[in-house]
Amino acid sequence: MQIKSFGKSDVGRKREKNEDSFSVNDENFIYIVTDGMGGHLGGEYASKLAVTTIEEVIRSLEDDPEATMPGDISLKPGDISGEIRFAISVASRRIYEKANVEKTLHGMGTTAVVLMFREGKVYIANVGDSRGYQVRSNNISQITKDHSLVSEQIRAGILSEEDSRVHRFKNIITRSVGYQEQVESDVDIRIPRVGDQFLLCSDGLTNLVKDEEIRDIIVNNEIELAVQRLIDVANERGGDDNITAILVEVVGLDDSDLSCKEHDDSTIEM
């Protein structure tokens, strides 16, 4: 897989500190955005710990597939989705345990959206309301499903997408990494094409910039300029929250990636 990527985080216009974290790892094809919450110190701590833990666990599992796992965990060889879920669960446990020890960190947690390229496929995992998007042929699609109160109401037909943007409970999430010891993450698997672009971002962007606007900015700009423009637009509209975005573009496929070509239009459900 041949990849071009760029990521950036901005504190925004209203917050004193940045509780978002991110990682761009082109060497291992791992990309992560987290958005922390919980007190004066907790959000920043949780988001950073989640990023480092998820990346560390994934790399450890791949470096040593025979590593001893906890008694209740069993991963089959090549179970990439299971590896990502396990890495997120380890992060959740570490954050939860740290919060129980440090009173100033009590109640902290974080969202997480993770993208990985493996064996000709792209894996996108999420917990919370940080999002993953795919841009293909000038069309944008949201890959992840928000784990939030308003999103559940939208899916139930109770609330419209437009009304959700101004809903007073729009920031209440129903699932996070670290608030509880155990967390379940969703994983989506897709077959990438050359030219596909994937956006990972925190809700500081999506609360203020609509999907169609995000698409136009990505389609009409090079990666670095697109990321900067996304952040600039969110800030121009108030910058109510921290804003983080990673944009990843598939610029080439290796021979080993082409074995999935016959499934090029498929989305693999997990």
CATH number of the domain where residue 102 is located: 3.60.40.10
Residues 215-221 have a mean pLDDT of: 98
Distances (CA, A) of 248 to 4, 5, 148, 194, 212: 6, 4, 25, 11, 18
Instruction: Find the domain containing 208 and state its range.
Output: 2-268
Rg (CA), the chain: 18
Alpha carbon distance 31, 130 (integer Å): 13
- Residue 26's pLDDT is what? 97
Residues 58-68 have a mean pLDDT of: 80
Alpha carbon distance 10, 20 (integer Å): 8
Domain count, the chain: 1
Residues in the chain: 270
Residue 103 CB burial class (10 angstroms; 0-12, 13-18, ≥19)? exposed
- Residue 34's pLDDT is what? 98
The tokens describing 23, both together, are: 């990682």
Alpha carbon distance 17, 11 (integer Å): 6
For the ranges 99-103, 107-111, 162-166, the lowest mean pLDDT is seen at: 162-166
Q: In what order do the strands lie in the sheet with 121-127?
A: 20-25, 30-37, 109-118, 121-127, 186-190, 267-268
First-residue to last-residue Cα distance in the chain: 23
What are the pLDDT digits (tens) for 71-97? 566 677 789 999 999 999 999 999 999
The tokens describing 107, both together, are: 């109640």
In degrees and rounded to multiples of 5, residue 131 shows phi and psi of -120, 160
For 233, residues 6+ apart whose C-beta sits below 8 A from its C-beta are 208, 209, 213, 217
Beta bridge partners of 267: 190
pTM of the entire predicted model: 0.90
What are the pLDDT digits (tens) for 239-267? 999 999 999 999 998 877 766 554 454 45
**What's the farthest any 2 CA atoms get from each other in the chain?**
54
